[in-house]
Structure formats: structure tokens, C-alpha cells
Structure 1
Amino acid sequence: MQKNISSLFISSINRFIERFFTRKSSALIIWLSVFIGILAGGMSALFDHGIIWISELRLSFIEYYSDSTTPMWLVAIPISSLMAGLAFYITHRFAPEAGGSGIPEIEGAMEGMRPVRWKRVIPVKFFGGLLALGSGMVLGREGPSVQLGANLGRMISDIFKVDKVDAQALLAAGAAGGLAAAFNAPLAGIMFVIEEMRSQFNYNLTSTKSVFMSAIMATIVMRLITSQDAVVTVTSYSHPSLMSLWLYLLLGFCFGVVGILFNKMILATQDMYLFIHQNQRWRFVAIGLFLGAVFGGLSIVEPDIAFSGMELIPHVEGGHYLMGGLMILFLFRLIATLLSFGSGAPGGVFAPTLALGTLFGMLFGLAAQSLFPHLVTDAGTFAIAGMGGLFAATVRAPITGILLVIEMTSNYEMILPLIVTCLGATMVAQSLGGRPIYTQLLERTMKLSMRRKRQETTRKALSRVAPTDPKE
């Protein structure tokens, strides 16, 4: 009797393991996505704390070596230059795909067009991103977080040897977890994969649940390590007047035009850098040294132009700048964003884009307040709407933009103006023939990759040809 009970218990355990922990089981993929979310949240939190630590360390060195005869900005130039130059070197030397935000690489990997070399990308993106962002360059940490999360997903897929379809689901789950943790925005992380990566994402019940679980766990881990507060501390606004909604629609129309121009300028800046360095390492590193020096000096002299811009958003929304100052700051930060992101440095463009949207939105809000004082009581509401408007126009993911701004600022009553602004921006961008920035960046990457392969094939073919004797 006892043997029968033991046999029955063992067989039940075996059936349980066979059902829930086999490679083909959807339950295994869900559990793996939970683990990936934990890893992505921990990695994002570590990356965030690393940026703070290396920025404080840089500032300590600057303060230590500066005195009455040597100004701080002069000391900051060589320190930041070396940091950025090292970031550019390790990126070009070990994992060129870690350059930029990394999101086009993930989209390409989900389509099977780009490799995911997680053993190289994870350390290069992590340390290269710390150095580049810590030097003062205008870059965001969300791109590295997304690429790191996705590469962690591929790492787990390789360890557990899941099939191709499930590996894609775990890759997407890692990306969602990375974005959710970067901005403390689980809904935005989920929607980013579903909306932005819709052409690559394999929709089914298992993959969708994997994305949800990873984003949830990544956010929980991030909040346990940091806090549950919103990423950006701004004013909590009440519902704006319904009669003023047409102004938010007009703001969205403006962002539709600005977004298309912004995307074109990013691509043009990348072409300019490619023309300069010709993919030669010493030239690529020289660009990093130069940019590190420029933004290192700016981080001391005019910090509002340097860094990601996340710290700038509350000051802009709080009304600390007049219209003239907002216009100048917008133009300078636009140039700084293009120079930083277009260079191929390991960093994202989400945060700088949100900062630009806040600046333009506040500028529009002050103008609207002066023209229609009976409709606009607080120009700061347009700054909040502007954060989502430029994101929607450039990335062409309006729902993600709406959720991202709401979760980042805890302004849930601003949902209607955000919807109107993002809708207007998307409509104009689409009607004018604009395309999502990450789609264009992926296409550009694929063209450059094919061109280099053809050049390498031609070079090898020519090297095999024996030189002919001129006497023959």
C-alpha cells in the first residue's frame, strides 16, 4: 500500500514537471519571462545607480583638481573627453551594435535580420552607456535599458534552449521589462512592444503574457531598489477646459511637422558622422573624445544643455523660463541631441526627446496663454502634453507616448489633452509621409551592413587573384 502511494506521488510529480517545465510548455516561457523581468529590473536599477555614481565621481575629480586659477569647466574637458572616448572605443572594438539606442537592433533581431550577441553587448552597453551618459552627453538611459533587457531575454533563451518562436517572445519580454524599469512605467513598457514592435512581435497568448509578466516584475524590482515615486516630479494638474482642447490639437499638428524634421535631422547627422569617420576606429574614437570635451565643459558652464534633460523637465514645466529663454534652450538642446545621438554613442534618445517636447510645449503654452487668457490658465499643461506629442510624432507610437507621460508624471487627469495632442501629431506626421524613426534607423543599419559585406567580399576576392607578370 505504501509503495503504491509512493509510486503514485512520484508519477504525479513527473507529470507535473513534464507538463509545466518542458521546453515546449507555455508555462515554462511564462516563468522564464518572470525571471527575465527580475533580471531586467535589477540591471536597469544597477545601471541607473551606476550613472549617478560615475557622475558624482566625475564631479569629485573636477572639484578636486580645480582651484582659483583653474576653473572647473577646464578640468571637466579632459576628464569627460576620456570617458566618452573610452565609451566609443569599447563600442567600436567589441560590439558595434551596442551603439545608439539599440532598439532598432532588437527590432531587427525579432525579424531574424540582426544577431544578438549578448555575451558582448551586455558588458559593452552597460559600461559604455555609463561612460557616455556620465560624461555629460545628451543621451537617455532607456535605450540601454531596453537593449540590456532584450539581451538578457536572449541569454535565458540560449541557456534553456527554447525554440525560435519562444525565443522571440522572451526577447520582447526583456525589452518590455527594460523600458518599464527605466521609466517606472509598466504599462508603457508593455504597450511599447505591442505598438512599436507590432510588425515584428509574434502575437499569441503566451508571448503577450510573457511581455506582461516581465514588465510587472521589472517594475517591482526597480521600485524595491529605488522608490515608487514618479520618475519626474511635476505639478499635478486637473482637467483643462474642454473649450481649450482645440489648442492641444493644434499643438499636436505642430509636433507632427517638428517630428518629421527631427527624424530627418537625425539621419542626416548620422550620415555626416559616417562621412567623417568612414568606420575607421581612430576617427570614431576621436569623435567621442571631441564630443566628451564639448559636453563635459557644457555640463559645468551650462548644465541645462547637457545630460539627458530629465532634470530639466520640472524646471521648464514649473515656469522658470521666459519665452526667449525657452526658444534658445530648445534650439541648443536640439543641436546637442542630434550631435550626441547621431554620433553612435551607446545611449538612447527617449529622454532627450521628452525634454525637447516639454520645451516646445511650454513655449506653445505661454504663447497660447498670452493670446487666449480666458482659455489657458496654466501653460504647464501644454508642457506635459508636449512630452507625448514629440514622442508620438517621431516614434509613431501614440498610445505608448500617452501612457509613458502619465506614468512618468502621475498626471492621470491629463489623459484627454495627451490623447488629442498625440493623435494630432500622429495624423500630421503620417499625412506628410513621415515614418517611425526606429524603422528608418533599422533600414539604414541593414543597408550599411550589406554594403560592408559586399566590400569585404570584393576585398577577399581581389586578394585571391595572383598578380600578373607584366612581361607576359
Structure 2
Amino acid sequence: MTSLAGAQVLSAGMPKAEPLSARKQMVDKSQLPGTVFQRIEKLQDRSPFIIVILACLVGTLTGLIGSAFQLAIARIIEWRLHSTSLLGDATAAKYLLAFLIPAVMGFVAYYLVKQYAPESSGSGIPEIEGALLDLRPVRWARVLPVKFFGGLASLGSGMVLGREGPLVQMGANLGKMVSDISHYDKQKTQYALVAAGAGAGITAAFNAPLGGIIFVIEEMREEFKYSEASIKAVIAACVCACIAYQMIIGTSPILYLGQAALAPISSLWICIVLGIFLGILGVLSNHSIIRTRQALDKLYDKNRWIFPCTGFVIAGLIGVVGLASPQFTGGGFAIIPDVIAGAYALWPLLVILLVRLLLTVLSFGSGAPGGVFSPTLALGTVAGVSFGLLMDQLMPAPALPMMTYAILGMAGLFAATIRAPLTGIVIVIEMTGSYALILPLVLTCLASTLTAQTLGGLPLYSAMLDNTLAKLGIQRKHEA
């Protein structure tokens, strides 16, 4: 007993023994100066290159999935329209099939969301913003397949939705997946890679790498954790996503409309008036979407089957509308060239504006897995050209070309609804190649954003995240 007690006293005064692996590691690092391991370790202290490498992987995966997503949607739409056309002149049968095919696709999309990943509802961008605040989960193993196949079903059905929302959420979830699998300094990499994946999603949706970077910095300004490493990660991911996208889809802008002419200084006041009009329209659109979502959420809580049945009805009805008037349905990029070319007079354009606004509110407000960027850009084009036609009737000579009104309308309505003017400007410029319109774009977006803010309109994604958190009894603080 005495010897045992003495041994305990001696051991108490000695430093605790290191595990063998740790001692071996210390010996290796101390006895082998200048090894590759030490050089990498010192390099990592000076530059976060490991995080950047992981971000490159996230961006590449997002670009590949985004390209596959775009090609698959186009193929599904082509198959759906071809199936309906096989019935020839059988009008009743064609309309029945035009209802049933999209209706089944809508049911499948909504069912996948309800059954397996409710956070996949809508665009998913508010969920990613909540995740960056540690207020929402990122369950990539569930969200990735649900968002991919659910998005294919909802967008392929012809609903008025865009692919950018699903790609942002899938990109962010890929960032979380890479962070979890790599096990590299999870606390440091997780937020950076989730944000990097979100920016890569915007890049893959619009072939707009700078737009993806600005989107994270501006739209996610309250949630994004700024650091030297995280900024580099976002840039690297967006660049790699763009390279992957262009290798598969091509390098051309997704909506090249021709060379935009410089706007005369004497016409810049028109940009401000147009911005005010778009600001009012943006407030109306956001208010309608948020109220529709709140009303339907109460209905969905009553029975678990109401949500997928809602998808069945909405997608089926939009399929019938699309058979009769294709310009009313889909993301809207297909009608932009016709609108700019003058295929529609003022009153038909106003009808398209009203119907597309209602179908956008219905599609996105119902919780379908899809985005609202593309429908907003199309809606802004119609609104801008409608405004231009009205101005041409009121003024003795045309002040601006219709293409200019269309491009300003895209960016201005985007800025008013998302409340991210820089993102809207950059994305529209990269999409259309309209670098000559920077000054008019800035004026229009500034006027639309100030108008929306003055009228008390809420940023769409921020308001939707607040509604989600409110149902959980959580209230977040907003920056002033």
C-alpha cells in the first residue's frame, strides 16, 4: 500500500503521458524540419487554400448538377408537349391530357416535399439563410434528391417557376455535404462552403459568376459570416461552377438580346419613373405571395394530403392554360424575345402581365419546389415593355428602344422584390450582355428599391424566413 501511494504521489507531480500517436507525431514534426507536412501546415496558416480547394469541389459539383437539371427540365417539357401533340385535332382529349400529365407531376413534386423534406418547399433560399444563422437544419441527404426530382417535376409541368431557387438550395446542401465528409475544421468550413454553394447555384442558373458572388454578399448580408477565407471560398465556387456549366451548356449568355444602345442623358428621368412603377409592382407581388403562402399554410395543417392535392390541381390547371396560351406559363424566358420584338400590343401585354403575375403568386405561393427569380425577370420584361409602349404614345418621339425598357424592367422588378439591387444589375448584365446600360440600370434599380422600401414592402426571402421562424416561436433580430 505504501509503495502504491508513493507511486501515485510521484505520478501526480509528473506531466500526463501523451498517447503514442501524439508522441510520434510530435517527434516526426520536430525531427523532420522542412518536410512537406510542415510546409503545408505553414502555408495553410498564411492562406486558407484547403477551404478554397473544398469550395472548388462544391462549385464544380453544383455546376454539373445545375447543367444536368437544366437539360433534364428541357427534355421533360419537350416530352410533355410532344405527348399532347400526338392527339392531333382531338380537342377534348388534348385538354384532358394537358391537365393530367402536369397534374401528376405536380402531385409527385409536392408529395416528395411533404413526405421527405418539408424544407425543400419553395425556392429554399430562406432555408439557407436560416441555416447560416444556425436557425434551420441542412439535411443534405434528404434535400438533394427531393429538390432535384421535385424540382424536375414542378418545373417540367409548366408551372411559373425558375430553376435558380432549387440550384441555390442544392448548391448550399452540397457545401454542407462536402464539409461533413471532409471533416476538415468543420466550424470554419461549414458556413463558408454553404454560402459558396449558394453563390455557385446562382452562377449555374444564369451563367453569371459575378452575380453569384454579389448575391451572397448582398442578399445574404445579414447571415453571411464575412472572413478572408469565406470570401475566397465563394469566389472559387462561383468560378468553378461557371466553368463546369460552360463546358456542358456553352459560353453564350443565356438571354443575349443583341447590342444594347447607350441611353441618352435626356432620357434618364424615364428610368426613375420606370423604377417607381416597378417598385409598386414589386410590393404588390411580394405582398400577394406572402399572403397566399400564409393562407395556404393554414389549410395544409388540416390534413397531410391537402398539400400534394394542391399541387395536382394547380399544375393541372396551369397545364391547360399552357395548351391554350403558352406565353402565360413556364419560367418565362421563352417569351422575352417575342415581347421585345413587338409581337404584342399594349393591351395584350397588360393581360400577359396580369395573368403571369397571378400564376407566379399561385405557383410560388403554394410552396412548389421552384424559384421566383426567372418568373420575376420575365414579368419585369413585360412590365418594362408595357411601360415603354405607353411612353411612346405619350411622347412625340420614342425615347428608348424596347430592348432597353425590357432590360431595365428585368433588373428593376428583381431589385424591388428581392431588395438586392446590385445583384439584379449584375445578373441582368451577365445574362444579356448589356454592359452599355449600367447607368440606366443603376437609376432604375435605385428608384424601384427606394419605392418598395417607402411603401413598406418587405424583402421576399427575409419575410418568408421570418414567417417560417415565427411558426417555430423564433424571432430574429434584423440589422438596421
Structure 2 length normalisation: TM-score? 0.89
Query: Aligned to 2:50, which of 11, 24, 28?
Result: 28
8 Å CA contact 2:61, 2:241 repeated in 1: yes
1:114-138 C-alpha deviation (Å, 9 max, x unpaired): 0000000000000000000001100
Match of 2:125 in 1: 103
Match of 2:423 in 1: 400
Matching of residue 145 in structure 1 with residue 174 in structure 2: no
Matching of residue 179 in structure 1 with residue 202 in structure 2: yes
Matching of residue 248 in structure 1 with residue 271 in structure 2: yes
Q: Give the deviation of 1:280 after TM superposition.
A: 2.5
1:174-228 C-alpha deviation (Å, 9 max, x unpaired): 0000101100011111000000000111111111111111111101110010011
8 Å CA contact 1:323, 1:363 repeated in 2: yes
Query: Aligned to 2:375, which of 341, 347, 352?
Result: 352
Q: Mean Cα displacement is larger for which, 149-158 or 433-442?
A: 433-442
| One-letter identity of the residue aligned with 1:155 | M
Matching of residue 229 in structure 1 with residue 247 in structure 2: no
Matching of residue 265 in structure 1 with residue 288 in structure 2: yes
Match of 1:86 in 2: 108
Distance 2:47 2:232 in 1: 14
8 Å CA contact 2:59, 2:241 repeated in 1: yes
Q: Give the deviation of 1:70 after TM superposition.
A: 4.7
Q: Which runs of 5 or more structure 1 residues have no equivalent in the other structure?
A: 1-6, 452-472
8 Å CA contact 1:142, 1:348 repeated in 2: yes
Query: Aligned to 1:39, which of 29, 50, 61?
Result: 61
Q: Which runs of 5 or more structure 2 residues have no equivalent in the other structure?
A: 1-29, 475-480
| One-letter identity of the residue aligned with 1:412 | Y
Matching of residue 327 in structure 1 with residue 350 in structure 2: yes
| One-letter identity of the residue aligned with 2:109 | A
Match of 2:216 in 1: 193
Distance 1:411 1:318 in 2: 17
1:231-256 C-alpha deviation (Å, 9 max, x unpaired): 11323211011100000111111112
8 Å CA contact 1:243, 1:375 repeated in 2: no
8 Å CA contact 2:203, 2:212 repeated in 1: yes
Q: Give the deviation of 1:417 after TM superposition.
A: 0.9
Match of 1:461 in 2: none
Q: Give the deviation of 1:163 after TM superposition.
A: 2.6
Structure 1 length normalisation: TM-score? 0.90
Distance 1:316 1:151 in 2: 37
Q: Give the deviation of 1:72 after TM superposition.
A: 2.5
Match of 1:49 in 2: 71
| One-letter identity of the residue aligned with 1:441 | M
Query: Aligned to 1:60, which of 48, 68, 82?
Result: 82
| One-letter identity of the residue aligned with 1:143 | G
8 Å CA contact 1:84, 1:135 repeated in 2: yes
Q: Give the deviation of 1:19 after TM superposition.
A: 4.1
Distance 1:64 1:363 in 2: 36
Distance 1:86 1:102 in 2: 18
Distance 2:79 2:213 in 1: 35
Higher-Rg member (1/2) = 2
Distance 1:379 1:310 in 2: 16
Structure 1 runs, 4 residues or longer, greater than 3 Å off: 7-11, 16-22, 63-71
Over 3 Å counting, the alpha-carbon distance change for 1:329 and 1:351 in structure 2 is same
8 Å CA contact 1:36, 1:156 repeated in 2: yes
Match of 2:27 in 1: none
Aligned residues: 444
Match of 1:73 in 2: 95
Q: Give the deviation of 1:56 after TM superposition.
A: 1.9
Distance 1:68 1:434 in 2: 47
Matching of residue 303 in structure 1 with residue 326 in structure 2: yes
RMSD: 1.9
> Identity over aligned residues, as a percent?
45
Q: Give the deviation of 1:65 after TM superposition.
A: 5.1
Query: Aligned to 2:447, which of 424, 433, 450?
Result: 424
Over 3 Å counting, the alpha-carbon distance change for 1:15 and 1:72 in structure 2 is same
